[in-house]
Structure 1
């Protein structure tokens, strides 16, 4: 597991997505690409232990139609 930077630093995904798709990580409240295609409720550092537990196939699927 990699050591995350300070919470004031955004997830790298937030730097490359449109501003309207940026939101706060559900785990640590770091800015991340949360909304729209490719978004996730967790930043890469919060998602890492989840993927270790559940496998690389775990991903967020929106329940909105």
Structure 2
């Protein structure tokens, strides 16, 4: 059983552990999250989990480095 996400007024836990200049709004819910720089994501952890559920088994990571 998963717990519901906290209110949007509360930041994503990743925003609490990164420098302030790396924090930005989630692309879906506008919650503060670690958006910029190394390890950043355009989505907060709750929106990312919802997006990953819709991806299905066909989504794979492919490196673009030579």
Give the TM-score of the pair, scaled to structure 1.
0.79
Q: Report how many aligned residue pairs link the two structures.
A: 59
Q: Separation in 1 of the partners of 2:16 and 2:34?
A: 8
Q: Separation in 1 of the partners of 2:14 and 2:49?
A: 14
Gaps of at least 5 residues in structure 1 are 60-65
Q: Separation in 2 of the partners of 1:17 and 1:28?
A: 19
Q: Where does residue 46 of structure 1 map in the other structure?
A: 47
Structure ID, larger Rg: 2
In angstroms, what is the RMSD of aligned CA positions? Answer: 2.2
Structure scoring higher RCO (CA < 8 A, sep ≥ 6) equals: 1
Q: Where does residue 18 of structure 1 map in the other structure?
A: 19
Q: CA deviation at 1:52?
A: 1.2
Q: Separation in 2 of the partners of 1:17 and 1:46?
A: 19
Give the TM-score of the pair, scaled to structure 2.
0.78
